[in-house]
Amino acid sequence: MLTPIDFIKNFAYARNTSLDNFFYDTSKLNFIEKLMIQQSNINEGGVIVVSPTAHNEPLSFYRNIQEFKNSNDYEKIEAVSVSGVGSSGLGAAALARNVANAYSTKVAAVVSGYGVSDVVSEALGGWFFFGGTERLLHQVKNTARLFPSLKPEIVSEDAIAESAIKSAKFIPDEQTLYQLVENPPPKLKIFVGHSKGCLLLNFALNNSTHTKNIKNEKLPTVVTFGAVIDIPEIYKRVFQFVGDCDLLGQVNSIMVDKKTVLKNSSHWLNTQIPLAVNAEEVLTSYVKL
């Protein structure tokens, strides 16, 4: 028999995952996996390691980036995914399952939120902080190209980046993702982001000293769904997808030329709903590893 506390917890979980069930293909997770996510109490900045459906392996949960780095999974994963606005562990795992099925490999899913309970703050944070920083960096780059004679201290990406990193150190999901970019797992081949997750990813890529100092090392492929972002030019394999009916994605985007517009598609990846982006099909059709 459920106690009042159990009832409240179950009600809160159902409420917090309602967005995930709408935006993500949670049907790709079985009942046991969904129960494991619910019982894990995984929070923002945590990592869920997800295997392909066919492998029939249990999910693994890590409360923070340090726990993940100390695990055997860190040495094995080939992909990192980060989901969008307000996404709880359920949405994070669902996106990771899409990527895992597409490439038959383990995926580390960065949990970027708690569900609908913080969707407003998550949305505002994604837009005003990460989106704002991204747009500022984009304008700085354009200004530097147009006026190459300006002094570096006047048009300085490094100054903006340093200030932004100091601000982001208190944000758990960004810190986890930043560490995965700064010290990538040895077998990492691809980053995949969706919605606000793309802004988090872009922030980490643009502010990583690893990215700035790297020379001839092969960098991971970068894929975005639902937000077109300004990825550093050193990343040569970049694939950005936005639906022609995706108004939210267009608002969150810097409209660079290198994007693929998906016909009759909106912002969600839930294939049970019309106008969905089928992430597995898009990845296998457009992005070969």
For position 6, what pLDDT does the model report? 55
pLDDT band at 48 (very low <50, low <70, confident <90, very high): very high
Range of lowest pLDDT (11-15, 223-227, 242-246): 11-15
Burial (Cβ within 10 Å: 0-12, 13-18, ≥19) of residue 260 = exposed
Which residues, in sequence order, are CB contacts of 246 under 8 Å at separation 6+? 226, 265, 266, 267
Range of lowest pLDDT (16-20, 151-155, 169-173): 151-155
User: CA nearest 91: which of 23, 42, 36?
Assistant: 23
Rounded to an integer, what distance in angstroms lies between the CA atom of residue 73 and that of residue 83?
Answer: 20
Rounded to an integer, what distance in angstroms lies between the CA atom of residue 48 and that of residue 36?
Answer: 11
For position 253, what pLDDT does the model report? 80
Per the prediction, the chain carries an average pLDDT of 80
pLDDT of 184 above 90: yes
pLDDT of 259 above 70: yes
User: CA nearest 65: which of 82, 90, 84, 51?
Assistant: 82
For position 12, what pLDDT does the model report? 53
Rounded to an integer, what distance in angstroms lies between the CA atom of residue 191 and that of residue 99?
Answer: 10
For position 166, what pLDDT does the model report? 47
Assign 3-class secondary structure to the chain.
CCCHHHHHHHHHHHHHCHHHHHHCCHHHCCHHHHHHHHHHCCCCCCEEEECCHHHCCCCEEECCHHHHHCCCHHHHCCEEEECCCCCCHHHHHHHHHHHHHHHCCCEEEECCCCCHHHHHHHHHHHHHHHHHHHHHHHHHHHHHHHCCCCCCCCCCHHHHHHHHHHHHCCCHHHHHHHHHHHCCCCCCCEEEEECHHHHHHHHHHHHCHHHHHCCCCCCCEEEEECCCCCCCCCCCCEEEEEECCCHHHHHCCCCCCCCEEECCCCCCCCCCCCCCCCHHHHHHHHCCC
Rounded to an integer, what distance in angstroms lies between the CA atom of residue 47 and that of residue 67?
Answer: 9
Instruction: Give pLDDT tens digits for 200-236.
Output: 898 899 888 766 666 656 899 999 999 998 888 889 9
CA 145 to chain centre: 29
Rounded to an integer, what distance in angstroms lies between the CA atom of residue 281 and that of residue 262?
Answer: 12
pLDDT band at 167 (very low <50, low <70, confident <90, very high): very low
Instruction: Give pLDDT tens digits for 58-109.
Output: 999 999 999 999 999 999 999 999 998 656 899 999 999 999 999 999 999 9
For position 154, what pLDDT does the model report? 43
For position 210, what pLDDT does the model report? 66
Rounded to an integer, what distance in angstroms lies between the CA atom of residue 95 and that of residue 149?
Answer: 45
* Arithmetic mean of pLDDT, 1-22: 64
pLDDT band at 252 (very low <50, low <70, confident <90, very high): confident
